[in-house]
Structure 1
């Protein structure tokens, strides 16, 4: 939309030139019976200007709609990034960071047992995975600017998915497929 107004004025100029051209043709042509050259030129000019009165509002409406959608995507992206720092999700992420620090000494089965035996940790992992589902849904439905989101949280999300992959596999194939899709979308 960088050249919105350039294109607007280009359309206006070409319609103006077309109006002049058609007016000239009407002026140099023989008028139909019961009419004068002036009336024919005036009718032609007003018809062309009427057409311009339709084209320009349609153009402005279309460009405003496109700009509005771009702005909405940026707002949705910011909102989704902002949710990452929501107090509930922040405390959930604190527990997932503790697992990150201990992950090298935990086997996959040990990780699964630790999560299943610690209700608070399990709820934290589920809360984080629910956030990931919101992200996936937003990307698939083109609600957010993926490039900006990836630059902000993409690598963090992919790291958490890899870290908890053994536990996510216990949630079922649909969950793991969704997370794999999200991981691919963020690559």
Structure 2
């Protein structure tokens, strides 16, 4: 199992190693994603997740869409482990709010509870169904996203931008942000640094 997940992180590292930014903060976050994915190693404390909700249809749509994207080789590496990814939805549902657990999911592959581990990092995938709004949320961790598939709108207060596959989105500590999909699903790689333990909350 570890070798299959390592193939995914190597594919991520290969792409990210070719990327950079003139923005100091974005450039540093890109290098962190590269280092975290390149240095990932099997986690001796990893316990395979119990059966998780089935997001196979949404993931299959995203991987098909990614076939012609700059991250096609990453999608190809994900396919063999698609049934092993520990998908979950981590937000509690408050009375009167929509339960998004069947439309949004996260799967960590590098981190304290992941199949792999790297120093000072969490890395995994965010998956969203088409026509889904991921409400405004924030967390102390610095977060870098790399879009694998989909053309979602990424929102922060006063900002809305559609980011294509191969594009990066940086969220600084405590920065409110949200995402909205249209006709396509969204599959994106996230990398956290800084405070890895305090969870994200809806605002």
TM-score range, shorter chain: under 0.3
Q: TM-score, normalised by structure 1?
A: 0.23
Richer in helix (by share): 1
Greater relative contact order (Cα < 8 A, sep 6+): 2
Q: Which has the larger radius of gyration?
A: 1
Richer in strand (by share): 2
Q: TM-score, normalised by structure 2?
A: 0.22
